[in-house]
């Protein structure tokens, strides 16, 4: 059987909000203190459950932003029309308790089948970058020499999540931004959406047996994943995660 072993039952447990970090005006990273965490793989997600004082309950999934071995953390983007994300990004305070269960998902994970050496291509649209922080931190912790490229499409520079951390990446990690809506004066990076030409420029050649992870909104993921297949990536080496799968309003 391929992949991660099926774990036992995932039970809900109380987590205590720790430090809160505003990544952008609409995005917040939340550290969660959990008594019983079995550990996670880079790229997995967890479920959050909120209960209102009238008993109303809402659940959502969020990608884990921290590497295996680090305190559990999620990074949440506030959605205008959202229900859970506005609470998590605006109302939650350190010390508040929420319920979580996880980790969840055994396919959008790195390393894949213990292969930490294939060239790694990460393509993010917006808050699709969250699982890639976990992956890149994990790569660094492992001391892996795997060459890694992160192609990150954001609306503008202030919308880039984890910018300081990404800009400081080294040891074989290249971070390539493309800004789709607004570029600062003197911007010498890429502009516009990820298209075939940009993928061709940034992606590892298929002959190098790369493995690709694509995360973002559906249209972004559709277009990037098709583009990579067009460049000769076998579909089995292109893993996708869409906001439909990790976020929701």
Partner 1 sequence: MSSPISRGFHRRHRDTTADTDRVPPGQYVTTDFPVLSAGPTPHTPLDSWSFSIRRAGDTLKSWSWPELQAQSVEDVTVDIHCVTRWSKLDTRWHGVPIDTLLSQVDHDANFVLAFCDGGYTTNLPIADVTGHQAWVAFGFDGQPLQPEHGGPARLLVPHLYFWKSAKWVRGLELLAADEPGFWERYGYNNYGDPWREQRYAGD
Is residue 35 close enough to count as binding partner 1 by CB under 8 A?
no
Is residue 107 close enough to count as binding partner 1 by CB under 8 A?
yes
Is residue 92 close enough to count as binding partner 1 by CB under 8 A?
yes
CA pair distance 231, 176, nearest whole angstrom? 19
Nearer to partner 1, 92 or 140 (CB): 92
- Which H or E run contains 24? strand 13-24
CA pair distance 207, 232, nearest whole angstrom? 8
Q: Please check whether residue 73 is in contact with residue 29, taking contact to mean a CB–CB distance below 8 angstroms.
A: yes
Is residue 98 close enough to count as binding partner 1 by CB under 8 A?
yes
The position carrying tokens 């809900």 is: 12
Nearest approach, Cβ of residue 7 and partner 1 (Å): 6
Is residue 242 close enough to count as binding partner 1 by CB under 8 A?
yes
Q: What are phi and psi of 121, to 5 degrees?
A: -115, 125
Is residue 114 close enough to count as binding partner 1 by CB under 8 A?
no
The position carrying tokens 């089948």 is: 113
Nearest approach, Cβ of residue 38 and partner 1 (Å): 12
Q: Please check whether residue 174 is in contact with residue 121, taking contact to mean a CB–CB distance below 8 angstroms.
A: no
Pair type for strands 72-77 and 97-104: unpaired
Is residue 20 close enough to count as binding partner 1 by CB under 8 A?
no
Q: Which stretch binds partner 1 (CB under 8 A): 26-34, 92-100, 165-173, 196-204?
A: 92-100
Q: Which residues bind partner 1 (CB under 8 A)?
A: 1-4, 6-10, 12, 14, 49-54, 56-61, 82-84, 86-87, 91-92, 96-99, 104-108, 218, 221-222, 225-226, 228-229, 235-236, 238-240, 242-246, 248-249
């Amino acid at each position: 059987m391929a992949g991660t072993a099926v774990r036992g039952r995932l039970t809900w447990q109380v987590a205590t909000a720790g430090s809160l970090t505003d990544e952008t005006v609409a995005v917040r990273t939340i550290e969660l203190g959990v008594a019983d965490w079995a550990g996670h793989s880079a790229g997995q997600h967890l479920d959050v459950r909120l209960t209102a004082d009238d008993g109303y309950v809402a659940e959502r999934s969020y990608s884990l932003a921290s590497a295996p071995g680090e305190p559990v953390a999620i990074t949440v983007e506030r959605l205008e029309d959202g229900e859970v994300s506005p609470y998590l990004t605006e109302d939650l305070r350190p010390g508040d308790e929420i319920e979580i269960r996880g980790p969840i998902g055994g396919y959008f994970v790195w390393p894949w089948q213990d292969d930490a050496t294939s060239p790694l291509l990460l393509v993010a649209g917006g808050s699709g970058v969250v699982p890639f922080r976990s992956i890149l931190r994990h790569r660094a912790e492992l001391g892996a020499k795997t060459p890694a490229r992160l192609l990150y499409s954001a609306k503008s520079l202030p919308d880039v999540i984890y910018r300081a951390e990404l800009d400081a990446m080294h040891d074989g990690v290249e971070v390539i931004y493309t800004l789709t809506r607004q570029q600062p004066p003197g911007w010498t990076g890429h502009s516009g959406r990820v298209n075939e030409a940009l993928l061709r420029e940034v992606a590892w050649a298929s002959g190098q047996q790369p493995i690709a992870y694509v995360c973002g909104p559906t249209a972004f993921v559709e277009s990037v994943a098709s583009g990579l297949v067009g460049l000769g990536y076998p579909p089995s080496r292109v893993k996708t995660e869409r906001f439909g799968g990790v976020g929701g309003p």
